[in-house]
Amino acid sequence: MEVASTTFHVVQDEDMKIFDRLMQHNESGLSDLYDRYAPLLYCVLMRMLRSVEDAENILHDVFIELWNMPEKYQNSSGTLYCWLLATARRRALSGERSKRLKKQSHQVAQNILPVYSDYVLTHTPITPFGEEILHSVTSAFNQLTEDEQQVLALGFYEGYTQSEIAKGLSIPAWTVNWSLRKSLAALTGLAGNADVKSDDHHKKYIELCAGHVIGILEGDEQNEIESHFAQGCDICIGEHARLSQALQILPLGLPPVPLSPELKERVLFSSRLSDVIKSSAEKKEESVSPSKAAPEELKRAKESESPQWLYILVFILSILLIGCAIYIFSMRRNTGAVNSIPQQATAMDAQQELDRSNSILNFLETRQMELTMLENPKGRTEEYGKLFWDLSTRMGLLYVTTLPVVPSDKNYQMWLMKDGQYISVSVFVPVANGKRGNYIRVQLPFDVAIKNISGFVITLEPKGGMGYPTGEVFLQGKVSR
């Protein structure tokens, strides 16, 4: 435990050195911080949302928020990693997909996997924390019963409230807080927090701290504990801080999920773009700000403003034209072609095709591959699909061909079948309409045991997706065992 505690302190010291560079808008600071925590945060978001697109969008927004408003972390308490985790989780729980996933599940307690996996011991996730921490984490998780893990998963990853968890598990509401505190207390030593001496303190407030930390309290209990904090109770404030730090341990038990390298480029591009926009806004504000200059000087400044922007625009266009000319000349010299524009499009298509092929080949290298064939239920042989999915990471590659063109108000939606229930996996629109087939990355939910998955269905639903199938079934397939 002492080694683990020291590790977290060392990591925070390293984080702050990187954060100092980010504060100076040094792109290397954002890049290094992304490399340290993006893989781990992505695992959390995929566990919560089960959507590659939604998880990537939130991860992008979290790092750009820190880049644009670093003072948000400076004004908070706790480690930088804790802030990133809390921000990502808050965004995920407030999203529409998280709300739809909750509506889909009629039985709250059903299909909730443990909050950790022994898989991390053989496939170490990318984190700034050492492998020794993972062994300590797994050992701590092993102390929790299946019921305790369910309560923790439902509150932290699924976003259910105290009353929803109690109703779903058929237990008293006070048992939920008691279970959460017991679970988090098993992890506090790893985070370097000693137990708070609370023997003489009201037990109710101590247990409400756990519910408040996870964010499951509501109504009177939420108001009661916040009023208690406002009174300055050192014991409960200390307990809240202790349990808050323990939350940083939870994601270390999740199995790693592949993260697209293109997302980092997107984050760095957005950071540069936001800097350009901010700089432009500042210059515009300076140009229109009140001045003590004489009226004639202000008039001359206004008259000269347009030509300055015009010169800049002409300069940028000149650079672009020169670049295009160099590129076209290079294309002609290398290929000897007269018409370079079609060749440029062909080269781009070829590069996209190569990238897609490499992505598919990399995916197919996994050892634990499952293949599910999808056929049209009406016997139309030209409509078919294949779902390749990795049993260990739940990452899937869906191939579909010759599906009808999607109306403007519709999307295709893929469903997982389990015990007669349907669970949404992905919403997509074929881009080639069957010309060369479509490859769609999907993430199967972690909260459904593989042995319980009986098949998959693809339907056409209203734009944005539905909580259950309502449209025509175009493809379906059973999982072979």
317 in any annotated domain: no
Burial (CB count within 10 angstroms: exposed 0-12, middle 13-18, buried 19+), residue 198: middle
CATH number at residue 429: 2.60.40
**CA–CA separation, 327 and 444 (whole Å):** 43
At residue 110, what is the residue type?
Answer: Q
Residue whose C-alpha is closest to residue 41's, from 18, 21, 58, 64:
58
Q: Is 7 left (phi over 0), alpha (psi -120 to 50) or beta?
A: alpha
Pair 66, 22: CB distance under 8 Å: yes
Residues 13 and 142 in one domain: yes
One domain, residues 49 and 190: yes
Domain closes at, from 253, 282, 297: 253
In a domain, 105, yes or no: yes
Q: What's the confidence (pLDDT) of residue 32?
A: 96
Q: Buried b / exposed e across 307-318, counting CB within 10 Å, b at 16+?
A: eeeeeeeeeeee
pLDDT at site 112: 56
- Asked if 108 contacts 154 with a C-beta cutoff of 8 angstroms, the reply is yes
Tell the residue number behind the tokens 């293949």, with chain if given.
371
- What is residue 304's predicted lDDT score, i.e. its pLDDT? 46
Residue 361 lies in a domain: no
Domain contains 450? yes
Q: What is the DSSP letter of 404?
A: P
| Residue 428, φ and ψ in degrees, nearest 5 | -150, 165
Judge whether 211 lies within some domain. Answer: yes
- Residue 104 CA from chain centroid, whole number: 20
Tokens 């098949």 -> residue: 455
Least Cα distance to 144 among 108, 190, 185 occurs for: 185
Contacts with 176 (C-beta within 8 Å, 6 or more apart), sequence order:
151, 155, 162, 165, 166, 169, 211, 216
Q: What contacts 219, CB < 8 A, 6 or more positions away?
A: none
pLDDT attached to residue 81: 92
List the beta bridge partners of residue 400: 385, 438
Say if residue 234 is exposed, middle or buried (CB neighbours under 10 Å; 0-12, 13-18, 19+).
Answer: exposed
- Within-domain flag for 209: yes
pTM for the predicted model, two decimal places: 0.62
Q: Would you say 412 and 405 are in contact if contact means Cβ atoms under 8 Å apart?
A: no
- The per-residue pLDDT for 38 is 95
Give the number of other Cβ atoms within 10 Å of residue 368's Cβ: 10
Last residue of a domain, one of 253, 276, 300: 253
Contact partners, residue 384, CB within 8 Å, separation at least 6: 373, 374, 375, 376, 400, 401, 402, 475
Contact 169, 108 (CB under 8 A): yes
The CB-side HSE value for 28 (13 A sphere, CA atoms) comes to 4
With respect to residue 355, please indicate whether it lies within any of the assigned structural domains.
no
Closest CA to 480 of 388, 386, 371: 371
Token code pair at residue 171: 């237990």
Phi/psi for 271 (5° steps) reads -65, -40
Q: Domains in the chain: how many in total?
A: 2
Judgement on whether residues 238 and 379 belong to the same structural domain of the protein: no
> Considering the domain boundaries, does residue 34 fall inside one?
yes
The C-alpha atoms of residue 309 and residue 304 are separated, in whole angstroms, by 9
Q: 462 and 410 in contact (C-beta within 8 Å)?
A: yes
Distance CA 177, CA 240 (A): 13
Q: What single DSSP character describes residue 247? A: G
Domain boundary among 253, 280, 315: 253
Expressed as residue numbers, the domain containing 62 is: 2-253
CA-closest candidate to residue 108, choices 183, 54, 51, 176: 176
Task: Please indicate, yes or no, whether residues 19 and 142 belong to a single structural domain of this protein.
Answer: yes
Q: What is the pLDDT along the chain (481 residues), one digit of tens a residue?
A: 444 556 677 888 999 999 999 999 999 999 999 999 999 999 999 888 888 888 999 999 999 999 999 999 988 878 899 899 999 999 998 877 666 666 555 454 455 556 777 666 667 777 888 777 777 777 788 888 888 888 988 899 888 899 988 888 888 988 998 899 888 887 776 655 555 555 556 778 888 898 998 988 988 889 999 999 899 888 888 888 888 878 888 888 888 888 888 999 999 999 988 888 777 767 666 665 555 445 555 455 455 444 454 455 445 555 555 555 554 544 444 444 334 334 444 444 444 445 555 555 555 556 677 889 999 998 888 888 999 888 877 888 888 888 888 888 888 999 999 888 888 888 888 765 444 567 888 888 877 888 889 999 999 998 877 878 888 899 999 997 6
